[in-house]
Structure formats: C-alpha cells, structure tokens
Amino acid sequence: MNEELHFLYKELPLLDQKNIYHTFEKAEKTKRLIKILETKGKYFSTAYAVANIYEEEMTTVDFKTLVNRFYKLRKELKDWLLQQLKNSPVALAEAEKELMFMRQLVAINEYHQAEQRLVDLEKVCWDSNLFEILYQVIELRIKCVQFTFGVNYAKQQKLLEDYQLAFKLLGVLVQLKTMGYGVAYKSMVEKELTMNKTLKMLRKYKMYPRFKKVYHYIIFSVNYASIDINKQTLSRHLSSFRSITDANPTLPNIFLQKDYQQKDMLYFSIKEASFYANRNEIEKALCIVKEVVETEKATDVYLIKNTGYLYNIYFIGLCATDYDFAYQQLETYQQFIESNPIDSNDLPFDVIQLGFYCQAFPYYTVAQKDLEKLLLTSLDYEQKIKDTLYRGLRQIAHFQLYVITQQWQKASAVLDNQHSLAFHAEYGQDFDFRAFFHQILHLIQHKDATEWSRFKQSFAKERKRLKTKVPPLFLSWFNWTEQVCAYYYTS
C-alpha cells in the first residue's frame, strides 16, 4: 500500500504536486506523509512513516494505535489522489492514450488531423498485435474517412474488411484468454486436450505471433510449478516463448496495460526462476530473481504484487543458502502484509519466520523464547490445515527447531508422529528423509568425527542422486544438515 501511494502521487501533474502543500496547509500530518513520498520514494516502511509523522506522540501513545492512525491517514490521502486522477489515463498503455486523444480530436471536428495520426496508430496496433484496441482505431478511422473525404468507396471497403478482421482477431484473443483462465483447474488429461484443440485453432493465424506467444505463456504459467509435467516439454514452451519475445519485443502477453513490456518481463521472470528452482537449478533461479529485484528498484514501474510473488523470491534465496538476500526479502514480505490484507489461506508470517530461522541456523539466530513463540503459531496453524504436504513440512521445521534448541527427545518424537508418517508415506519414495534425519540426530548427539566423515561421503552422492527427483526444499535439508553438523562438531 505504501508503494501504491507513491505511484499515485507520482501520477499527479507537476502543477498539482507543487500546489499540494497549499491544499493541505492545515493538515500537518498529511504534509509529513507527502514529504516522505517525495524523499523516500516507493520504498519506506510503515514503522518509518509512523515514527516521522507522529514523532511527538511516540512516547505517549501506544505504537499500534499510531499505526492504525497512519492507516487511516494513508487511506484519506489515497482517496484524495484517486479523486484527482479519476479522469486521467494513468493506467493506460501509450497506444491507448493516443486513441483517447484521437477521440478528443474527432469530438471537436479535427477529422483530418485525427485521420493522419490514426493511420500511424493502426500500424502500431497491427505490428504489435494490439487486438484489444485495433478495432476501435479502425472504427474511428472509418468515421474520419466518412466526414473528411466524402464517400471514398475503395478506401472505405478496405477499412470495413480490416474492421471485420480486427473483430475476429479480438475474438481469437478472448478465446485464448478464456482457455488460460480455465485450464489451470483442469486435470492433466483435460489440459492436454484443451491445448491441442487451441493449437489447431491457431494454425490459421500464424502470421500474428502474439497468439503463439500467449499460447506458450499460458502453458508455461499453469505448469511451471507442477511436479507432474515433463520438464523437457515445459522447457520447449519456455524456449519458444523467449524466441517470440526476442523477435517481437512489443507484443503484450495477456494484458495491454501501462508499461506492459517491463511488467510482462518482470512477472514472467519470477515464473521462470521458480521453474528453474523446481528443477533444482537453484543458482540460475537466484540470479534471475536478484536481477528482477534490482531492475524493479531502478525503474518507476508499479508492479501489482501478492504474497505468492514475494514468497517465491524469498524462498529461492533461502534454498540457495543466500541467507542475507532471503532475510531482506523476508523483511519486504513483512512490510507488504503490514500494509495489505492477506488471504486466509496464506502461511502466517510467524510460520514463515520460523522456517527461516530454522533453515538459516547458525547464521541467523533469535532467542529460544522467540523461537518457541513462533512454534506456537506453527502448531496452531498445523491444526487448521488438512494437506499432508503442508502438515509434513511443519513437522520437519519443528524437528529443525528442536535440534537447534537441543531438545533431542522432542526432535526424535516429531519424526515419528502421525503427520510425519503420513508425509513420509506419500513423499518419501525417492528420499527416506525420516531415516536421514534420525541419522543426523544420532551424529549430532554422539559427535563421532569418523562416523561423520564416512557419512559425508555417502551424503554427497545422495544429494547428487536426488537433484532430479525431489523438490528444492527437500534438497535444502542437505544444506541445513551441513550447517548444523559443522556448528555442533566445532562447538
């Protein structure tokens, strides 16, 4: 929400930005918030804003009360900004803005000037496959031709044919989008049937590369996180998508929107990184997400984010053992959920924190009482979910916590409880992680250097064998094991 407020303020015309302090001359708190927007840019925390806006009350009023006051103040400024911008094309792509201006020219009878510019705009729409507005551009051209040149039958006939084609192409795009929205919830067999039918439909439109681009985009987007689909098949779709994008950089993906080229690139890059992470090409995934984070910081492009987007970036950093980067993303995640309502199905932040401090030990630590507080949230969350995978992952995190806090009996017991057994029965075919963790527990307690040295040799072979068989989180347990054993064997 703080970032959103910054971008709304940036969309104000410069004259309105200059006059805004006069508009709020009697609202000191609002002026302080505006000053933060101007000086801190799109990245400022709620805690920073509260400390600077309510500095006189910080020692006399409860901090949570001040935070709630800030939320109310922020909403008031946001509503005011939206009111100022309601007639401004702030969310439109450049082609859409040009079309809006052409409508204004036609409305004041500037048909000749509008017709000349519409010819150029129509070419842009054909070249970039902007089918969302192409038919509107042609429709406006028809109106200009009728009023400017009289009845020019040849020209009008060509425009009418193009107009019909533009509507047809829009229909194809709508079909593609509808398929994309629905196919994510279908079975693998239904997905394949739908995709084959769609591909057959697109054969007659191969001269319009956006359709094939959207086709490959949809298949990749609905499957990149799947553990069931053939990774080589998905790689071909990724390669085809990238080839079309490189050859036609102005083609949108799904949506025509403001800054769509930059947004499409950044959003897709996160999906691509997650795909490589799921293949355990974790360093490649980390490079991609770091580039996305740096690119976003360096541009003034507003990205609509959710917890899934932010969690994927954090998770890749965690699995890559770049704990500094993962911690930074964890802070970003926390700032986001402070300012935005989250879905009831999302992981509680305390559960995510617990996972981080367990996995990143001993590089990042907190007091045992703080870990146990996070554990209470995790245990409560565990009772609310029925999914075997998520319940099982909670058991592994709890095992890690008990090892870190040297509660050996609890560590052993959690590996043998009903949730761990159900988790192992469903996901332990390739990797007997219960036996693995029991052995780690034995090695840590007995500190037998010879046994540890022998185990490390088989450990390396096992990690290599599992690289193509298990998800990245499972493989990250090997990293944790090395960290924890190195800590206990040298302490």
Rounded Cα gap, residues 410 and 393, in angstroms: 16
Q: In which band, very low, low, confident or very high, does the pLDDT at 2 lie, cut at 50, 70 and 90?
A: confident
288 Cβ contact list (under 8 Å, min separation 6) = 269, 270, 272, 273, 276
List, for residues 114-135, the tens digit of each pLDDT value.
Answer: 999 999 999 999 999 999 999 9
List, for residues 421-448, the tens digit of each pLDDT value.
Answer: 999 999 998 999 999 999 999 989 988 8
Q: In which band, very low, low, confident or very high, does the pLDDT at 459 lie, cut at 50, 70 and 90?
A: confident
Rounded Cα gap, residues 462 and 474, in angstroms: 12
User: Are 448 and 371 found together in one domain?
Assistant: yes
Domain around 42: 2-85
**Residue 263 domain flag:** no
Which pLDDT does position 359 carry in this prediction? 95
Rounded Cα gap, residues 171 and 95, in angstroms: 20
**CB-CB contact of 297 with 275 (8 Å):** no
User: Are 358 and 484 found together in one domain?
Assistant: yes
Which pLDDT does position 227 carry in this prediction? 63
Which pLDDT does position 150 carry in this prediction? 60
The whole-chain average pLDDT of the chain stands at 88
**Residue 339 domain flag:** no
Rounded Cα gap, residues 97 and 257, in angstroms: 11
Q: Is the pLDDT of residue 242 over 90?
A: yes
Which pLDDT does position 360 carry in this prediction? 94
**Residue 36 domain flag:** yes
User: Are 432 and 481 found together in one domain?
Assistant: yes
**Tokens describing residue 440:** 């780690």
User: Are 52 and 80 found together in one domain?
Assistant: yes
Share of the chain above pLDDT 70, in %: 96
List, for residues 278-333, the tens digit of each pLDDT value.
Answer: 999 999 999 999 999 999 888 878 888 888 899 999 999 999 999 999 999 999 89
3-state secondary structure 87-144: CCCCCCCHHHHHHHHHHHHHHCCCHHHHHHHHHHHHHHHHHHCCHHHHHHHHHHHHHH
The answer to which of 5-14, 45-54, 113-122, 336-345 has the lowest mean pLDDT is 336-345
266 or 152, higher pLDDT: 266
User: Are 54 and 164 found together in one domain?
Assistant: no
Which pLDDT does position 87 carry in this prediction? 66
**Residue 368 domain flag:** yes
**Residue 287 domain flag:** no
**Residue 65 domain flag:** yes
Q: Which helix (H) or strand (E) holds 62?
A: none
Q: In which band, very low, low, confident or very high, does the pLDDT at 151 lie, cut at 50, 70 and 90?
A: low
Question: How many CB atoms within 10 Å of residue 229?
Answer: 17
**CB-CB contact of 163 with 175 (8 Å):** no
Q: Is the pLDDT of residue 228 over 70?
A: no
3-state secondary structure 273-319: HHHHHHCCCHHHHHHHHHHHHHHHHHCCCCCCCCHHHHHHHHHHHHH
Average pLDDT over residues 196-217: 91
